Amino acid sequence: MEAARSDEVIRAGELEIRPDDALVLAAGRPLNLSVREYGVLVALARRAPRIVSREQLSSIVWDHPLRAGDRSVDVYVHKVRSKLERALPDVRFIHTHVGFGYRFAAEPPLHGFHTDATTR
Amino acid sequence: MEAARSDEVIRAGELEIRPDDALVLAAGRPLNLSVREYGVLVALARRAPRIVSREQLSSIVWDHPLRAGDRSVDVYVHKVRSKLERALPDVRFIHTHVGFGYRFAAEPPLHGFHTDATTR
DNA sequence: ACGAGGCTTTCACATCCGTTTTACCGGTGG
DNA sequence: CCACCGGTAAAACGGATGTGAAAGCCTCGT
Q: List the pLDDT tens digit at each of the 120 positions of chain A.
A: 566 556 789 999 899 999 777 899 998 899 999 999 999 999 999 999 999 999 999 999 999 999 999 999 999 999 999 999 999 999 999 999 999 999 999 998 764 433 333 333
Note whether A51 contacts B86, CB cutoff 8 Å: no
d(CA A54, CA A77): 10
What local confidence, expressed as pLDDT, does residue B114 receive? 39
Tens-digit pLDDT profile for residues B31-67: 999 999 999 999 999 998 999 999 999 999 999 999 9
Tell me, in Å, how far CA of A71 is from C1' of C13? 14
Interface test with B, best of A47, A54, A114 (most B CBs within 10 A): A114
pLDDT band at B120 (very low <50, low <70, confident <90, very high): very low
How far is CA B90 from its chain centroid?
A: 16
Check if the beta carbon of residue A94 is closer than 8 Å to that of residue A84.
yes
Q: pTM for this one?
A: 0.88
What local confidence, expressed as pLDDT, does residue B3 receive? 62
Which has the higher per-residue pLDDT, B57 or B107?
Answer: B57
C-alpha closest to that of B40 among B77, B3, B72 = B77
Nucleotide in closest CA–C1' contact with A71: C10
Proximity of residue B9 CB to strand C below 7 A: no
Tell me, in Å, how far CA of B115 is from C1' of D5? 18
Note whether B22 contacts A51, CB cutoff 8 Å: yes
What would you measure as the largest C-alpha separation in chain B, in angstroms? 43
Nucleotide in closest CA–C1' contact with B79: D8
Q: Please give the C-alpha separations between residue A51 and each of B51, B85, B101, in angstroms, as whole numbers.
A: 30, 23, 31
What local confidence, expressed as pLDDT, does residue A71 receive? 97
Those residues with Cβ within 8 angstroms of residue A103's Cβ, 6 or more apart along the chain or in another chain: A44, A48, A49, A50, A51, A52, A94, A95, A97, B23, B30
Cβ of A113 under 8 Å from any chain B Cβ?
yes
Q: What is the β-pairing status of strands B51-52 and B29-30?
A: unpaired
Cis peptide before B49 (omega within 30 of 0): yes
What local confidence, expressed as pLDDT, does residue A109 receive? 73
What is the 3 state secondary structure string of chain A?
A: CCCCCCCCCEEECCEEEECCCCEEEECCEECCCCHHHHHHHHHHHHHCCCEECHHHHHHHHHCCCCCCCCCHHHHHHHHHHHHHHHHCCCCEEEEEECCCEEEEEEECCCCCCCCCCCCC
Report, as an integer, the average pLDDT of B6-16: 92
The percent of residues in chain B predicted with pLDDT above 70, rounded, is 87
Which has the higher per-residue pLDDT, A27 or B5?
Answer: A27
